[in-house]
Structures are given as C-alpha cells and as structure tokens.
C-alpha cells in the first residue's frame, strides 16, 4: 500500500508558520539595509531597465498561495530598483521629505503592532502617543493651549477638516445645524483667500459644498503673498484662508494684519501650512509665522519639512467642539472612554497609527533637532539659489524658506533644461509656471541633503542647460 499523503495544512497553520519564521524578518531587514545603503548612489529617477522590471508584477491573480519569503524577494528584486530615491538627498521635485532613522525603525514596529487608533479601547498606546504629540506640536508651533490635533493622510484632508469645522461653527452662529439640516437653504457663507492659494484648498471647498461663487480672491504680490491692504470687508459668515508657505515661492501671507482684521469681524481663519508651518519651530524663520496663533485652525504635513514617514497630515483646531461636531459619528457599538478617542477629530475611523512615527520623529529630534532641521533645509535652498545664480540661471523668487524658482534665458530653454535634469538621474526637480513663465521648481525637504548634494545637482543643471542650448 502507498503511504498516506500528509494532511494538508489549514490556512491558519500556514500563516502561523510563516509568521513565526525568523527568516522572513531577517530577509526583510537585509533588504531594507541594502536599500538604505545604496539609495544615495542610485539614480534619483529609475532607469528604463528598472521600469521594464515592473512587468514582473503584471500577472494574473495566483491560484495557489505563495510563500511569504518569495513574495518579499520579488518585491525587493523588482520593486526596489524602480523606486524614486526620495530619501537619498537629491530629490527636489514635489515637496517630499525624507525619513529620520528613528521614525523609519518605529514604522516597522508600528506595522507589526497594526493598531487602529479610532478609540482608546482599540489602542491605548496610540491614544497616548497622539495626546503626547498634540502637546509637543502646540509647544513647537506656538499654538493656543486649547488646540487639538487630528491625524490624517495629508494636508488635503487636514484642510478639509479645518474648513469643515469652520462651516459648522459659522452656520451654528446663524442658527443653522448643518449636520441635521444639510446645506440646502443654509445661510450663505463667504470664503476669502489669496489669489495664489493652493489647489487642495479649492478641492476641500468643493467637497464641502461652499461653491466657487462664494470664493473672493485677494490679489497677491510678486512673491505670491496675499495683499492685506486689498482684503474685502469681513464678517461673522466669512472663512479667511491664509497660506504659510507658497508652494512655488515659499512666501508667507502676512499673518498679523490679516488675523487682526478677521478677529475683529468674527471671521474664521484657517492657515494652510503644509510645509511652511514648521518655520515657527526655528528662531531664524519664526518671524514668517508671527500671528498664526490668532487663527482658528491649521493644516500641516509631518511628512514634509519634519521628515516623518508617509503619510502623516495633521489638522489643528483651537475649537475642539467644532471639529468634533463636524467630523465624528456615533453608534451603539462604539465604546467611548475618558481618554482620547482619535476618531473624534478625523473623518475616518479605521486608519494608520501615524502618531507612532510622528512621536518617534519628535522624540528623536527634540525641539533643538527640529530647529536644526528647518535651518538646514533653508540653508541648502539658499546655497542652491547662490550656485545657480553664479552658473547663469535666473532665480525668480526671494528665497525665504525652502523653495527656489529657476529659469533659463528663454521658456524653451527652461523646458529643455528641465527635461535634461529629469532624465539625468543625478537629481530630480519639477516644473511649474510662475508669472506666466515656465520655471524649474526646487524644493529642499530632506534632512539627507548636504552641501555636496546641492553642488552635484547644480552641475546637472549646467550640463542639462548646455545640452539644451546645443540642441536648439
């Protein structure tokens, strides 16, 4: 007789065996170590051969289970070479920060914890870390004591949350309960913002039903700053949206005069500070944000200037009851506590435990480290502007923070040069339009960017410019 076939393992048994296999974690750590060790040397944007390697992922859904070791090996072999080296020090495209070592390691542990921070009873540790980070953020940014924080995906959602709180509060003052009565027939609200406001602000306004007809745009100066002298009369049904860090020039709207006018009128002020709000953490740049403490809500990304891992957006609001009323929900099964229940201040219930990585970033850096990080980014941006100017490029903005706008002699030369830079692999910058002219936009956001990285990037600019000139 043939020996009996070994019994087939159940799904639980297979997954339990994989979870307890130490080789999986050793292999993951080794793959991560290899990536970190090589990221400074690899092309900033992947080579064509690496992009072709992504074809290995184009397959039908497997009809059998795949061993976890094989899954990880495939991901590292074909995925790692096709990444954009945002953490390597020479990525200056979109406003993307790096990752501090402590936060990177904390992210691994947080993944193993796999916590849902909606309620204290779901995760006491994350509830505690969210509370601690809230206090630290208020201290770093100089915000009022009654300010609360909600941890979301990014500034797009943080802005949505802040404006949702504004909508709720302003309509409530007019005797209208938007949660119960909806928007049909509601009192009309006004929105006042600078002419160079970020697109995510308009997205949030659209999602909240404000309507573009409610938006009153205030002219901006040559750097993209709202002109307070041209503010229209404000009232208690107005939302004033200010910008701490123009996405192109890095300029800051004047906070003190605008916030004072808004306060006297009873208007709600929201500050869009995706990357620029962190200027408040440094003595050298804090003057840019003077007056932000007079606002009602703020939106900021920790995964930009602060260099926490993706994703970590934060809404901050000095009116906890307005934010909670605008966002939270109730249910018979929801077990509230006397501790922080994070779902109160976010649109979603189930979400990543972002506060773990944020706490690790802030704990490791401390206030001196955050200040040094902000100062370093600004210093590297000034170095960029100086060396590019010496190389014959036109720097179009006042470099007040971490943004540099660059152009060549003609629009065609600028576009060709940008193509050459992006194709070089030496660095990566994005393009934009400034005052009707195509520009190369340099965003310095990574702690790993050193003086030599900037000089190397400038050489890539020069090489691309020379090649563009020869081709025209």
The CATH number linked to 179 is 3.40.640.10
Task: Report d(CA 195, CA 101) in Å as an integer.
Answer: 39
Residue 434 sits in the same domain as residue 319: no
Rg (CA), the chain: 25
- Residues 179, 175: Cα–Cα separation, whole Å: 12
Write out the two tokens for 183.
């928007």
Residue 209 lies in a domain: yes
Q: What are phi and psi of 284, to 5 degrees?
A: -75, -25
Q: Which of 333, 348, 363 is the endpoint of a domain?
A: 363
Same domain assignment for residues 229 and 131: yes
Asked whether residue 70 is assigned to any structural domain, the reply reads no
State the pLDDT at residue 173.
95
172 with 246, same domain? Answer: yes
Q: Are residues 171 and 250 both part of a single domain?
A: yes
Is residue 438 situated within a structural domain? Answer: yes
pLDDT of residue 414: 98
Whether the bond between 149 and the residue before it is cis, its omega within 30 degrees of 0, is no
132 touches 120 (CB < 8 A)? no
Q: For strands 297-301 and 91-92, give the pairing.
A: unpaired
Encode pLDDT of 218-240 as tens digits. 999 999 999 999 999 999 999 99
Cβ 308 vs Cβ 361: under 8 Å: yes
Q: How many domains does the chain have?
A: 2
Q: Give pLDDT, residue 330.
A: 81
User: Of residues 274 and 336, which shows the higher confidence score?
Assistant: 274
Mean of all residue pLDDT scores within the chain: 95
Q: What per-residue confidence (pLDDT) applies to 213?
A: 83
Asked whether the beta carbons of 240 and 257 are under 8 A apart, the reply is no
pLDDT single digits (tens) 390-426: 999 999 999 999 999 999 999 999 999 999 999 999 9
Alpha-helical runs (H) found in 116-233: 124-141, 155-173, 178-181, 199-207
In this predicted model, what pLDDT tens digit does every residue of 74-94 receive, in sequence order? 999 999 999 999 999 999 999
Q: What is the pLDDT of residue 240?
A: 98
Query: Mind listing the pLDDT tens digit for each residue in 379-395?
Result: 999 999 999 999 999 99
Q: What is the pLDDT of residue 214?
A: 84
pLDDT at 9 over 90: no
Instruction: Characterize the bridge pairing of strands 190-194 and 215-218.
Output: parallel
Say yes or no: 372 and 250 in one domain: no
Residue 262 pLDDT exceeds 50: yes
φ, ψ dihedrals at 301, nearest 5°: -110, 130
pLDDT of amino acid 4: 58
pLDDT beyond 70 at 16? yes
Q: What is the pLDDT of residues 49-73, one digit of tens each?
A: 999 999 999 999 999 999 999 999 9
Mean pLDDT of 247-271: 97
Upstream peptide bond of 249 is cis (omega within 30 degrees of 0) = no
Domain residues for 432? 367-471
Indicate if 121 and 258 belong to the same structural domain: yes
Whether residue 112 is found in the same domain as residue 166: yes
CA dihedral defined by 160, 165, 167, 172, rounded to 10 degrees? 170
pLDDT at 115 over 90: yes
Q: How far is the C-alpha of 418 from the C-alpha of 428, rounded, in Å?
A: 9
438-446: average pLDDT? 98
Q: Which of 25, 146, 145, 35 is nearest to 81 (CA)?
A: 35
Question: Is residue 155 in a domain?
Answer: yes
Within the chain, what is the greatest distance between any pair of CA atoms?
96
Cα 301 from Cα 49, distance rounded (Å) = 34
Cβ count near 32 (within 10 Å): 15
Answer yes or no: do 158 and 296 share one domain. yes
Q: Where residue 5 falls among pLDDT bands split at 50, 70, 90?
A: low
CATH code at position 397? 3.90.1150.10
329, 363, 397 - which closes a domain: 363
Is 406 inside any structural domain?
yes
- Check whether residue 391 and residue 330 sit in a common domain: no
Residue carrying the six token digits 């020869």: 470
**Domain-located, residue 260:** yes
Determine the pLDDT at residue 334.
82
62, burial (CB in 10 Å: exposed 0-12, middle 13-18, buried 19+): exposed
**Confidence at 7, pLDDT banded by 50, 70, 90:** low
Structure tokens at 335: 């077990």
Looking at the structure, do residues 334 and 374 belong to the same domain, yes or no?
no
Global pTM value: 0.95
- Residue 32, domain member (yes or no): no
Is residue 211 very low, low, confident or very high in pLDDT (cuts 50, 70, 90)?
confident
Q: Which helix (H) or strand (E) holds 25?
A: helix 22-38
Domain boundary among 310, 328, 363: 363
CA 336 → CA 16, 110, 119, 328, 390, distances in Å?
Answer: 33, 23, 7, 12, 61
Q: Within a domain: residue 58?
A: no
**One domain for residues 314 and 423:** no
What integer pLDDT is reported at residue 3 of this predicted model? 57
Rounded Cα distance, 322 and 128, in Å = 22
The predicted structure's pLDDT at residue 1? 46
Please check whether residues 180 and 165 belong to one and the same domain: yes
Contact between 112 and 359 (Cβ < 8 Å)? no
């Amino acid at each position: 007789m043939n020996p009996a076939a070994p019994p087939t393992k159940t799904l639980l048994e297979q997954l339990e065996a994989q979870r307890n296999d130490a080789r999986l974690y050793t292999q993951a750590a080794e793959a991560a170590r290899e990536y970190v060790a090589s990221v400074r040397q690899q092309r900033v944007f992947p080579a064509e051969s690496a992009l072709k390697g992504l074809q290995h992922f184009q397959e039908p859904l497997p009809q059998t289970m795949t061993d976890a070791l094989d899954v990880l090996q495939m991901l590292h072999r074909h995925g790692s070479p096709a990444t954009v080296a945002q953490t390597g020090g020479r990525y200056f495209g979109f406003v993307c920060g790096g990752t501090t070592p402590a936060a990177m390691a904390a992210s691994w542990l947080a993944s193993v914890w796999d916590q849902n921070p909606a309620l204290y009873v779901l995760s006491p540790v994350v509830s505690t870390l969210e509370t601690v980070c809230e206090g630290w953020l208020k201290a770093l940014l100089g915000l009022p004591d009654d300010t609360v924080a909600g941890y979301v995906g990014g500034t797009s959602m943080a802005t949505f949350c802040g404006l949702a709180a504004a909508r709720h509060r302003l309509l409530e003052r007019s005797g209208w309960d938007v949660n119960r009565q909806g928007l049909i027939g509601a009192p009309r609200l006004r929105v006042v913002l600078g002419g160079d406001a970020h697109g995510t602000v308009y997205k949030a306004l659209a999602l909240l039903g404000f309507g573009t007809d409610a938006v009153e745009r205030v002219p901006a100066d040559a750097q993209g700053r709202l002109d307070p002298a041209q503010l229209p009369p404000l009232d208690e049904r107005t939302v004033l949206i200010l910008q701490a860090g123009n996405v192109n020039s890095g300029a800051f709207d004047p906070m003190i005069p605008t916030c004072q006018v808004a306060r006297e009128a009873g208007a709600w002020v929201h500050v869009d500070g995706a990357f620029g709000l962190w200027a408040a953490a440094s003595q050298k740049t804090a003057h840019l944000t003077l007056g932000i403490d007079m606002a009602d809500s703020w939106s900021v990304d920790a995964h930009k200037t602060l260099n926490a891992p993706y994703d970590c957006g934060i809404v901050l609001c000095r009116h906890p009851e307005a934010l909670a009323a605008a966002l939270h929900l109730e249910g018979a099964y929801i077990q509230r506590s006397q501790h922080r229940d994070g779902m109160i201040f976010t649109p979603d219930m189930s979400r990543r435990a972002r506060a773990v990585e944020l706490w690790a970033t802030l704990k490791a850096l401390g206030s001196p480290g955050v200040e040094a990080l902000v100062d370093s980014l600004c210093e590297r941006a000034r170095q960029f502007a100086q060396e590019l100017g010496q190389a014959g490029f036109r720097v179009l903005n006042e470099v007040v923070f971490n943004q540099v706008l660059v152009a060549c002699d003609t629009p065609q030369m600028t576009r060709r040069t940008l193509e050459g830079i992006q194709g070089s692999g030496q660095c990566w910058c994005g393009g934009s339009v400034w005052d009707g002219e195509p520009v190369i936009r340099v965003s310095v956001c990574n702690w790993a960017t050193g003086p030599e990285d900037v000089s190397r990037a400038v050489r890539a600019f020069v090489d691309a410019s020379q090649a563009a000139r020869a081709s025209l």
